[in-house]
Structure 1
Amino acid sequence: MTSLPVEPLAAEGAALLEAGRPLEAVDVLRQAVASGESSAPDLLVRAYLDSGSWHSAVEWLAPLVEQGHVRFAGRLGVALIETGDRARAEDALRLAVASGEPAAANDLGILLRDEGRLAEGIQVLARAAADGDPLAPANLVALHLEDGDLPAAVEAAEHYADPARPDTVLALAEVRAAQSRLEEADGLFRQAAELGALRAHTAYGQFLLTERGDVLGAQGEFFEARRHAEPGWAWTMGRFLLDVGRPDDAREFLQVAADTGDRVAAETLAELDGVDPADD
Structure 2
Amino acid sequence: MTQPSPVPPEPLSAEGAAQLDAGRPLDAVDVLRRAVAAGEPSAADLLARAYLDSGSWHEAADWLTVVVEQGHVRFAGRLGVALAELGERARAESMLRLAVETGELVAANDLAILLRDEGRLAEAVQLLGYAAESGDELAAANVVELHLEAGNLSAAAAAAERYAAQSRPDTLVALADVRAMEGRADEAESWYRRAGELGALRAHTAYGQFLAGRGDTAGAERELREAERHAEPGWAYVLGRFLLDEGRLDEARRYLQISVDSGDSSARQALAELDGGDPGDD
Give the alignment's TM-score, normalised by structure 1.
Answer: 0.93
| 1:4 Cα offset (Å) | 10
Given that 2:13 and 2:43 are in contact with CA atoms closer than 8 Å, whether structure 1 keeps it comes out as yes
- 2:1 equivalent to 1:6: no
Divergent runs of 4+, >4 A: 274-280
> Does the CA-based 8 Å contact 1:173-1:189 persist in structure 2?
yes
Q: Which amino acid aligns with 1:269?
A: L
Aligned to 1:63: 66
Instruction: Find the partner of 1:17 among 2, 15, 20.
Output: 20
Work out whether 1:261 is the aligned partner of 2:263.
yes
Moved more, 190-199 or 267-276: 267-276
Determine if contact 1:12/1:28 at 8 Å carries over to the other structure.
yes
Q: Which residue of 1 aligns with 2:131?
A: 128
Q: 2:244·2:274 contact (CA, 8 Å) conserved in 1?
A: no
Aligned to 2:147: 144
Identify the range of structure 1 (69-78 vs 244-253) with the bigger mean alpha-carbon deviation.
244-253
Provide Cα deviations, 1:190-231, integer angstroms capped at 9, x if missing partner.
111111111111111111122x22122112111111111111
Is 1:79 aligned to residue 101 of structure 2?
Answer: no
1:278 Cα shift?
A: 5.4
How does the TM-score come out when normalised to structure 2?
0.92
Q: Is the contact made by 1:202 and 1:222 (CA closer than 8 Å) also made in structure 2?
A: yes
Separation (CA, whole Å) in 2 of partners of 1:200 and 1:125? 20
Specify the alignment match of 2:171 in structure 1.
168
Task: Note closer, same or farther for the CA distance 1:277–1:144 as it changes in structure 2 (3 Å cut).
Answer: closer
Structure-2 separation of matches of 1:64 and 1:223 = 38
2:50 paired with 1:50:
no
Structure 1 letter corresponding to 2:108: A
How many residues are treated as equivalent by the alignment? 277
User: Aligned in 2, Cα 1:28/1:154: closer, same or farther, shift over 3 Å?
Assistant: same
> What's 1:230 paired with?
232
Would the alpha carbon gap of residues 244 and 274 (structure 1) be closer, same or farther in structure 2, given more than 3 Å must change? closer
Give the Å deviation of 1:279: 5.5
Mapped to 2, the partners of 1:32 and 1:192 lie a distance apart of 38
Q: Tell me the alpha carbon deviations over residues 236-258 of structure 1, each in whole angstroms, 9 at most, x when there is no partner.
A: 11111221222232111111111
Any idea what SS the aligned residue of 1:135 has?
Answer: helix
Task: Extract unaligned runs of 5+ from structure 2.
Answer: 1-5
Could you list the per-position Cα deviations for residues 55-96 of structure 1 after superposition, in whole angstroms to 9, with x for gaps in the alignment?
111111012212322110001111112222222111110111
Greater CA deviation, 186-195 or 78-87?
78-87
Q: CA deviation at 1:274?
A: 4.2
C-alpha deviation, 1:275, in angstroms: 4.3
The verdict on how the C-alpha distance between 1:97 and 1:12 changes in structure 2, with shifts beyond 3 A counting, is same
Which residue pairs with 2:122 in the alignment?
Answer: 119
**Shift in Å at residue 5 of structure 1?**
5.4
Which runs of 5 or more residues in structure 1 are unaligned? Answer: none
Structure 2 residue identity aligned to 1:203? A
Whether contact under 8 Å (1:157, 1:175) holds in the other structure is: yes
Question: In structure 2, how many angstroms separate the alpha carbons of the residues matched to 1:190 and 1:102?
Answer: 28
